Amino acid sequence: MKKFLVAASLLALFSLAACGNTDDKTKDSGSASADKDTEKVVKLSVGVMPSTDNIPFILAHQQGFDKKYGVDIDIQAFKSAKDRDAAFLAGKVDAINTDLVAMAIYQQGGQDVKITSSTYGQFDLVTGDDSVKELADIKGKEIVLGKNGGTEYAVTEMLATIGMKEADVTITDVPAVPSRVELIKSGQVSAAILPEPLVTIAKADGMRVLGSTRDIGINPFVIGAQAKTIDEKSAAFEGMYKAYNEAVEYIKSHDKEEYIQLFIDEIGFPETLKDQITIPDYTPAAQATEADITAAFAWAKDKELLEKDLTPQDVLSDVFFK
């Protein structure tokens, strides 16, 4: 049995912040409003990779929506998925922005990790090969991605939409995302799976998108946390998603000039591409669907990454979505 710890990208969570004096004397003399001011604000730390689906969480913290709901969203960005996952397993972050294949692997490894929500992520298959005009042209060519994880699953699903299988292409494992960009830019490989902001950067360099997880209607991106952590910080998780939803409404009702700098400062879009940044059509927080979970887990079983018989109910948390 292969044992891997793979995951995908982002989100924010909470740890204990200061509260006021709660001795009996203070309680006796204080007012109800003073008691409320001394309520705890819980910090929830979320390990993420730079990605546009972090923006509502970052904005919720920047605008103070999180404190309004009793949480302090602490987004911790990592340069590699390996470092993010190591921090999560060591208990240094409360949750991570990851993917459904990683959830299957965590469960197979004995980790009681639950899904608290889906996230608004996206993987695109990008090419710089002039002979590849559409997805079907990728047959027999080389694609670089992170094997045994969400990116390989995404490619498999894209190929399936046109009747092709993974065996119809050459898959090469390149975990470092920037290295994938260099390989397609230099013409050493035909295509690569990329997240934002690298998709926008690649397109600015003349590359083309052949397919996307959004275009084929799958969403393997989720927030995962240990069941114990969810139980201990359930109110904080609820507050995080309330703050997230308020941030989504803010994005919809404000000019992008009021928050576009977050995409540059927090996600890594080049300043020169400011006018080319497309704002995702963020929607209120939602739970991962049973269809997405079932499909990803079936793929993980076929790849011998998962041996357990797991249902969506085994991994879904009801901390926010009852």
Position 32: which residue type?
Answer: A
Question: Rounded to an integer, what distance in angstroms lies between the CA atom of residue 309 and that of residue 76?
Answer: 33
Here the tokens at position 32 are 């109800």
Q: 63: exposed, middle or buried (C-beta count within 10 Å: 0-12, 13-18, 19+)?
A: middle
pLDDT score at 79: 80
Domains 13-121+220-310 and 124-212 fall in the same CATH topology: yes
Percent of the chain with pLDDT over 70: 88
Q: What pLDDT score does 39 carry? A: 66
Which residues, 6 or more positions from 80, have their beta carbon under 8 angstroms from its beta carbon? 49, 175, 176
Query: Could you tell me how far CA 38 lies from the centroid of its own chain?
Result: 33
In which residue are the tokens 């600015």 written? 204
Task: Give the tens place of pLDDT for each residue, 53-80.
Answer: 999 999 999 999 999 999 999 999 988 8
Domain extents in the chain: 13-121+220-310, 124-212
Helix (H, G, I), strand (E, B) or coil at 175: coil
217, 161 in Cβ contact below 8 A?
A: no
Nearest alpha-carbon partner for 239 in 50, 121, 94, 103: 94
128-184 residue pLDDT tens? 999 999 999 999 999 999 999 999 999 999 999 999 999 999 999 998 888 999 999
Is residue 25 very low, low, confident or very high in pLDDT (cuts 50, 70, 90)? very low
Measured CA to CA, the distance from residue 73 to residue 76 in angstroms comes to: 10
Q: What is the pLDDT of residue 7?
A: 31
pLDDT at 135: 97
% of residues, the chain, pLDDT over 90 = 79
124-212, CATH topology level: D-Maltodextrin-Binding Protein; domain 2 (3.40.190)
pLDDT at 81 over 90: no
- What is 13-121+220-310's CATH number, 1.10.268.10, 3.40.190.10, 3.20.20.70, 3.10.450.230? 3.40.190.10
Q: Are 153 and 302 in contact (CB under 8 A)?
A: no
Contact 206, 127 (CB under 8 A): no
